[in-house]
Chain A
Amino acid sequence: MKITLLLVAIMLSSFLGFGQISIKGRVLDKNDGQGLPGVNIVIKGTSQGTVSDIEGGYSLEAVAESAVLVISYVGYVTQEVTVSGKTNYSIELVSDVKSLEEVVVIGYGTSTVKELTGAISRVSGKDIEARNPVRLDQALQGQTAGVQISTASGSPGGSSNIRIRGLGSNGNNNPLILVDGIIYSVEGLNALNPSDIESVNVLKDASASIYGVLAGNGVIVVTTKQGKKGGKPSIEFSGYVGLQETTKKLDLLNARQYAVLKNEMFGSAGQVVPFLNPDLGNGTDWQDAVFQRAPMQNYNLNLTGGTDKSSYSIGGSYLSQKGIVGGDKASFERYNVRINFSTDLTSKIKLQSILLFTNEFRATLPEYRNVFSNDGQPGIGSVLYNTINASPAASIRQPDGSFTKLNEFLDVINPLAQIENTYNWSKANKFVGKEEVSYNINSNFDLTGRFGYDYSNFPSKTFSPIVDYGLNKPQNATFSSVQQTEQTSFSYNVDFYLNYNRTFNELHKVKGTAGFVRSQNYYKGLFTTGFDIPNNSWEFADISLANLTGLKNGGVGSGEVQSRLQSVFIRGEYAYKEKYLFSALARRDVSSKFGRDNISGYFPAVSAAWVASSESFFKIDFIQFMKVRASFGVAGSDRIGEFRYRAFLGGEGVYPFGDQLINGVAIGRAGNSSLRWEKNIQTNIGIDLTTLKGKLDVSIDYFTKKTSDLLFEPETSALLGTYGAGGAPPIINGGDVKNTGIELQLNYTNQVTSDFSYNVNFNATKIKNEVTQTPVGVDFISYGSFGIGGERATRFQRGLPIGAFYGFKTEGVYQTSQEVTERGVNQQNASRGDLRYVDQDGNKTINFGDNSDKVLLGSAIPDVILGLNTGAKYKGIDFSVSFYSSIGNSILRNFERQAPLANMLAYRIGRWTGEGSTNENPRLTNGESRNNVYSDYFVEDASYLRIRNIQLGYLLPASLINKIGAKKLRFYIAVNNLATFTKYRGFDPDFNSGDALLGGVDFGAYPQARTYMVGFNLNF
């Protein structure tokens, strides 16, 4: 009752103009005294306000005595002015360079953009949420310089490759990802709802050394949303529904073209042609049959708020995504609940408690099946590989309704039958959280202790029914089996650290950090395979019903490992007048992964910065802020399996005696007692500028990153005897890699009028990757294979980028028989119409049996990556578009089966058919030819430009939505991956397998989808 009365009184008072005056004045830029147009002037606590005119002038009627004016303008510090008698208020706004005060997480402490001495990029949660990603990494692409994101698989729940400042290692290049101080794996990012993210900080240079042996590949620090003390409860509900489709279909031969070309291939080899009547029409478009439009949807509900002592952010989300190939058989679903709660236990002690629970479900189709690969590398056999190579002359189904068996191939199977007979799911249940207590000892010291944990359980099930895909297919199953796994991991970290912060005489700012961390990872897995499933049916596919006897390939397995890490670190920071900034840190790690003589590693780093614009002699008016930075430091990597320094009897030694398989014992992986961490030495020089009255921020960084003692599992001499079943070479430290690069980051924000603003973010990264040292005695190591049992595709070789494509170079097509004979170079099996290989060593022979004529053909590592993100707002309408471009990366087209009856891409129509017909594509023949030898003919430039995200939103007027009691309601439509411009003939030029050594070998990977979305954000 009392409250109602009060409200009535307030309303009446404003109505009657009780004690009110009119005021006016001008808003000026303090720097140059010019009037500022379009400045918002609002009376605090009301919606009453105005906007300055072109001269900066403004006037306000009926302003209460002692009212507070809030004057805000993009790029300037917001000011408050209390009305006190006068009627004219001239207001001078200070150019803000607002972003300089943004908090940046630097590891066991924070800093501001202004004080930062290292190369750390910050991406706000808003920028991530705006892209509606399923996973954080998808939204990071093109957002910040120095971070390259490529896609290993576009399937729902598939992961990206996150590379900070290039490929530093030939092994694991994943950065350290910390979410609220807890380590996440790249795969584990599936558990994180991108809408929960407050900010992402990327530690790119030696400042990452505070994480020591974990930091060699850079560090990504993610903080999730927290509530605010004293904030009223606020509910945000958001969601979108989307429809996905493939970004591309390959240009394949139709049935008629196929029949004509196949007849030519057989005929030219003197074989019976397969199609007597090649007029088969269009035939089957396998891509149309395999690709589908697939829905996705996502909803988030979040409650934030606080009392005077506590704050909270509690949320839940649901996401469901079906696959554009396979639908339900390649899908992802995530339920996620998060509680982020902070409270002051006493005036000095604060507790922060975070708990995240995620339940994930993922179904997958074969993407890398080792059908014909006997080198342990990803092989051919994905659904899309089969789709590409299946005969367009074959129907999908036979008249009786069963799937057609593609008998004309050995290994290419009907992709729709493959989808139907694939049953493969995995789940994850994750509890991730932390309890953190910080004790404010006094105004200078804070002590923080925290316990972070991640308990996860990963069950999975794969059912392989009895299936006959056709004559003699390796994928045929004559018995059914079900494979079930139960895996559990538990990792925790205990951190204690002390922060010191004090400013002496308002000149000397001193900060210090010292801490201690213990962490442990524990893993246990149990794997079972059972056979002869009742009714050959998914409904009965469970170990409980399966036959567990017999020695069929499989059986029961288990594994249990742990690893431990213990660290101490110290960091000192000193700033003089906020002009001269210094930082030095050191960390000592001991890791269980290395031999007893090498368990410890020391990681120091130093950095300094000079804020030139704060000098009195700095008179460049158009530059509001300028800072020069430099850093140098050492970080490491221990990304190898557990106990790799020891030799175990893990080999397989099985032999039949009396026709019964007898299990013996054999040497497994060889040990290496001198195994130690991989070492990174990083140097960074950077400059930060703010200009155009604070509207434009520019950062330029030059860096070198030298990785030495690469953790390697290279091939070793046969004499070590580790190439039996279950054996493996020892892991060694061998080889160095150097990354050198330049990064440019531009942020431009302009509030043109109060109604219209826009921003442009542009970033560019140029990186040169070079192997500078190979393991002792070896000039290069080659990896992968082209086609089936073919040539090695890539190399780790001094002077080349990691995983460079290396093979024969072609120089056109032999036009005449005369050319073949008169060339003076002996090329085995050559005849007119064949590819003409370059005789690199000049010995007048193309040496197919050795390496002497092979050269560098390209690299999967792009020369330059570019990101352009722009946005504009006009009244309630917002529009944004993001572009991403990768230039100079190559991909090996390894999804073409090259078999006599396999379908082909349409470029083959332009084959050589006679003298002068083409100098590009060789003739088609089943006869003996060397046209399918691994060469630059199959390595393509996969540079591309992609419109990553385009979005149009509309914020409903407050007057309208207040009626339904909401604070904000926005609707939007968006498209992800709207268009891609590339010459690459495969599905997705963004593909990278993630393996540094085989990154660009495309076996027909699952492409990313184009997604059309409609969504809303509703706040109460």
Chain B
Amino acid sequence: MKIKFTKLAVILTLILAIASCDSFVEIDPYYAQDADSYFNNSDDYSKALTGAYDLLQTSYLDLFIGEIASDNSIAGGESVTDSEGLHQIDAMTHGGVNVELRNLFRWMYTGITRVNYIYEFKDKVAFDGKNKILAEAAFLRAFYYFQLVKFFGDVPLVIDKRLGASAVPQQARTAAADVYAQIEKDLLFASSNLGWTALEKGRVTKGAALALLGKVYLYQNKFDQAASTLDQVINQGQYSLFAEYDKLFLVVNESSSETVFDVQYVGSEGGGFGCFVCLEGFLAPGFQGVRGYSGPIYAAGFSYNLPTKDLVDEFEANDVRKNASILDIEAFKKINPAVKYTVGAGGHTGFYNNKYIKRQDQLGLQDQNLTSPVNHKIIRYADVLLMAAEAHNRKANANNQLALQYVNQVRARAKLPAISKSGADLTTAIYRERRVEFAGEGLRFFDLVRTGQAASKIVGFQTGKNELFPIPQAEIDLANAGWIQNKGYN
């Protein structure tokens, strides 16, 4: 009996000894990279940079909203509740609850965070070529912040570090001017550390950084700086206008001499509706395609972002850009009687965006509506020229001669006669030229706002309110940092 109890005691003691030891549960995961022990060689930096580029591929939102909010196009689609956020923007009734604006806000900050992650560890390892990586990263951060400041005005400026959840409530909205200052700083750093040519297609260049910097100056009405910066790009001679405007937006010409900065897309991965931010292809062409289409050249899409007659009428007679930019489906059907298409209840104008449209010979893998291989041109050389023209025309000490020369380069490519104007007339002419040159490219709304024309051109536009989009209400709540909603949206 005694022996038994001794045995029992030993067993119990052993069990208790095991039980009191918590190290059993202190385990590490299999095959996982911790975020804080990364950045150990140049390859790590380069991979993190690729991750930062990834968010460029959400550019469809900028394109859609920049057009739909303006007088250039209507939302379209299946019904007014199909992508309702776009319809609200179309009608200028958008508020703090808007899926598209929220996505944009989130994705831009995701891109910024990925850049900040690199900058947080920028001094950890030294290696050749690091400045180039940092310069590309700086460009991306500037681009993402520019989108935010363009859409929302004052936004919290977070740089060079990741935020923990507990730090968010301390992030007040930073004045737009200060955000712009950071953007300029990043772009100046980028432009001075990047070359004019990219070693790989898709990487940003000195030209891209300077062109974007010029645009950023222009958005702040800093015309002198804009003019000199853009002149730098022009005088370098790196870029030129592509002769055939109607073929400019085809995949085969995406690396033409006119491309200053574009977002890269490929159709080789496929994708689904479950995750737009995961896509490697461009979804705008599919969404902008003709609904229920069968016939030659084009392929069926979702009839989003449909050009208005007002835009179509803006083109001068004989402007080659008209047919290159606008597909008039009934006119096309007359030539091709086999064409069939349907109309969505979200609106119909008879016109489609012919620059970014689903074409039979430019399909990605399934779902083909989402995976167009066409790159999205963000800054073309024509934009550099017209921005430079505007800057020279509007700067205190105007150089209308140079401005005219730039504008007429663009017009000549469109097979249009040169104009000869100056002062406010020239300014108006440049604005008009911008509208037709960049029709369907997402620039219009922001051009109207920054040049003070929005209220006179956009039905429902309220001055003092609609210049900015509302900060997504959910983001105001989640940040819990006392952000005041943009004026007029409460």
Q: Is B343 in contact with chain A by the CB < 8 A criterion? A: yes
Contact B165 A370 (CB under 8 A): no
B15: chain A residues at CB < 8 Å are: 496, 516
Q: Contact check: which of A407, A474, A653, A933 meets B81 at CB < 8 Å? A: A933
In the complex, A516→B22 CA distance in Å?
A: 13
CB distance from B448 to the nearest CB of A (A): 21
Q: Which chain B residue has the least Cβ–Cβ distance from A851? A: B97
Q: Is A928 in contact with chain B by the CB < 8 A criterion? A: yes
Stretch with Cβ within 8 A of B (4 or more), from A26-34, A283-291, A298-306, A775-783: A775-783
Q: Is B433 in contact with chain A by the CB < 8 A criterion? A: no
Contact A722 B110 (CB under 8 A): yes
Q: Is A737 in contact with chain B by the CB < 8 A criterion? A: no
Q: Which chain B residue has the least Cβ–Cβ distance from A494? A: B18
The A-contacting residues of B in range 341-385, CB under 8 angstroms, are 342-345, 347, 365-369
Contact B201 A657 (CB under 8 A): yes
- Interface residues as binary, A753-780 with B (CB distance below 8 Å gives 1, 0 otherwise): 0000000000000000000000011110
Q: Contact check: which of B18, B109, B171, B347 meets A518 at CB < 8 Å? A: B18
The B-contacting residues of A in range 730-766, CB under 8 angstroms, are 730, 732
Q: Is B26 in contact with chain A by the CB < 8 A criterion? A: yes
In the complex, A371→B369 CA distance in Å?
A: 12
Q: Is A168 in contact with chain B by the CB < 8 A criterion? A: no
A553: chain B residues at CB < 8 Å are: 269-272, 365
Contact B25 A591 (CB under 8 A): yes
B268: chain A residues at CB < 8 Å are: 550-552, 661
In the complex, A379→B274 CA distance in Å?
A: 9
Q: Which chain A residue has the least Cβ–Cβ distance from B8? A: A441
CB distance from A648 to the nearest CB of B (A): 5
Interface of A is mostly: loop
In the complex, A566→B25 CA distance in Å?
A: 7
Contact A723 B25 (CB under 8 A): no
A498: chain B residues at CB < 8 Å are: 12
In the complex, A670→B11 CA distance in Å?
A: 44
Contact B345 A927 (CB under 8 A): yes
Contact A472 B299 (CB under 8 A): yes
Q: Which chain A residue has the least Cβ–Cβ distance from B48? A: A665
Stretch with Cβ within 8 A of B (4 or more), from A105-113, A153-161, A711-719: A711-719
Stretch with Cβ within 8 A of A (4 or more), from B87-95, B211-219, B331-339, B392-400: B87-95
CB distance from A268 to the nearest CB of B (A): 11
In the complex, A30→B113 CA distance in Å?
A: 82
In the complex, A665→B107 CA distance in Å?
A: 16
Q: Is A444 in contact with chain B by the CB < 8 A criterion? A: no
Contact A791 B480 (CB under 8 A): no
Stretch with Cβ within 8 A of B (4 or more), from A188-196, A592-600, A888-896: A592-600
Contact B162 A665 (CB under 8 A): no
Contact B273 A372 (CB under 8 A): yes
In the complex, A410→B269 CA distance in Å?
A: 22
Q: Contact check: which of A376, A472, A657, A898 meets B369 at CB < 8 Å? A: A472
The A-contacting residues of B in range 284-305, CB under 8 angstroms, are 289, 291-294, 299-302
The A-contacting residues of B in range 38-79, CB under 8 angstroms, are 38, 44, 46-57, 78-79
Q: Is A526 in contact with chain B by the CB < 8 A criterion? A: no
CB distance from B106 to the nearest CB of A (A): 4
In the complex, A723→B35 CA distance in Å?
A: 16
Q: A374-B275, A516-B19, A667-B114 are in contact. Are A720 and B294 (CB under 8 A)?
A: no
- Interface centre among A655, A663, A725, by most chain B C-beta atoms within 10 angstroms, is A655
Q: Which chain B residue has the least Cβ–Cβ distance from A662? A: B50
Stretch with Cβ within 8 A of A (4 or more), from B229-237, B240-248, B314-322, B471-479: B471-479
In the complex, A724→B52 CA distance in Å?
A: 10
B111: chain A residues at CB < 8 Å are: 721, 724
Q: A479-B366, A849-B96, A929-B80 are in contact. Are A653 and B47 (CB under 8 A)?
A: yes
B275: chain A residues at CB < 8 Å are: 374, 376, 725
CB distance from A780 to the nearest CB of B (A): 8
Q: A447-B8, A721-B109, A851-B97 are in contact. Are A666 and B51 (CB under 8 A)?
A: yes
CB distance from B159 to the nearest CB of A (A): 12
Stretch with Cβ within 8 A of B (4 or more), from A359-367, A556-564, A576-584, A815-823: A556-564
Q: Is A829 in contact with chain B by the CB < 8 A criterion? A: yes
Q: Is B402 in contact with chain A by the CB < 8 A criterion? A: no
Q: Is B278 in contact with chain A by the CB < 8 A criterion? A: yes
Contact B302 A717 (CB under 8 A): no
CB distance from B20 to the nearest CB of A (A): 8
CB distance from B269 to the nearest CB of A (A): 5
Q: Contact check: which of A472, A561, A719, A898 meets B30 at CB < 8 Å? A: A561
- Interface residues as binary, A114-155 with B (CB distance below 8 Å gives 1, 0 otherwise): 000000000000000000000000000000000000000000
Q: Is A810 in contact with chain B by the CB < 8 A criterion? A: no
Q: Is B10 in contact with chain A by the CB < 8 A criterion? A: no
A591: chain B residues at CB < 8 Å are: 25
Q: Is A651 in contact with chain B by the CB < 8 A criterion? A: yes
Contact A777 B479 (CB under 8 A): yes
CB distance from A16 to the nearest CB of B (A): 57
Q: Is A14 in contact with chain B by the CB < 8 A criterion? A: no
Q: A717-B475, A725-B54, A828-B93 are in contact. Are A516 and B18 (CB under 8 A)?
A: yes
B477: chain A residues at CB < 8 Å are: 777-779
CB distance from B147 to the nearest CB of A (A): 13
Contact B171 A719 (CB under 8 A): yes
- Interface residues as binary, B145-188 with A (CB distance below 8 Å gives 1, 0 otherwise): 00000000000101000111100110100000000000000000
B128: chain A residues at CB < 8 Å are: none
In the complex, A783→B269 CA distance in Å?
A: 29
Q: A590-B22, A932-B81 are in contact. Are A732 and B27 (CB under 8 A)?
A: no
Contact B479 A659 (CB under 8 A): no
B110: chain A residues at CB < 8 Å are: 718, 721-724, 727
In the complex, A351→B75 CA distance in Å?
A: 73
Q: Which chain A residue has the least Cβ–Cβ distance from B277? A: A725
Q: A269-B345, A727-B110 are in contact. Are A717 and B270 (CB under 8 A)?
A: no
In the complex, A782→B472 CA distance in Å?
A: 14
Contact A653 B266 (CB under 8 A): no
- Interface centre among A672, A719, A850, by most chain B C-beta atoms within 10 angstroms, is A719
Q: Contact check: which of A565, A665, A847 meets B44 at CB < 8 Å? A: A665
A476: chain B residues at CB < 8 Å are: 366-368
In the complex, A472→B340 CA distance in Å?
A: 13
Return 20 A-B CB contacts under 8 Å, by A number: A410-B302, A471-B292, A471-B293, A474-B272, A552-B268, A552-B269, A590-B25, A599-B22, A653-B114, A654-B269, A655-B53, A667-B113, A717-B479, A722-B113, A776-B480, A778-B478, A788-B78, A829-B80, A849-B88, A850-B95
Knowing that A643-B29, A655-B202, A928-B80 touch, tell me 15 more A-B residue pairs with CB under 8 angstroms: A374-B273, A379-B273, A410-B302, A478-B368, A564-B25, A564-B27, A599-B22, A652-B54, A652-B278, A653-B52, A657-B202, A657-B203, A658-B202, A718-B109, A721-B110
The 3 A-B residue pairs with the shortest CB-CB distance, nearest first, are: A721-B113, A653-B51, A664-B50
Chain A residues within CB distance 8 Å of chain B: 269, 271, 370-374, 376, 379, 407-408, 410, 441, 447, 471-472, 474, 476-479, 496, 498, 516, 518, 550-553, 560-562, 564-566, 568, 590-592, 596, 599-600, 642-643, 646-667, 670-672, 715-727, 730, 732, 776-779, 782, 787-791, 828-829, 847-851, 898-900, 926-930, 932-933
Chain B residues within CB distance 8 Å of chain A: 4, 8, 11-12, 15-16, 18-19, 22, 24-27, 29-36, 38, 44, 46-57, 78-85, 88, 91, 93-99, 105-114, 116-117, 156, 158, 162-165, 168-169, 171, 200-203, 264-266, 268-278, 280, 289, 291-294, 299-302, 342-345, 347, 365-369, 472-475, 477-480
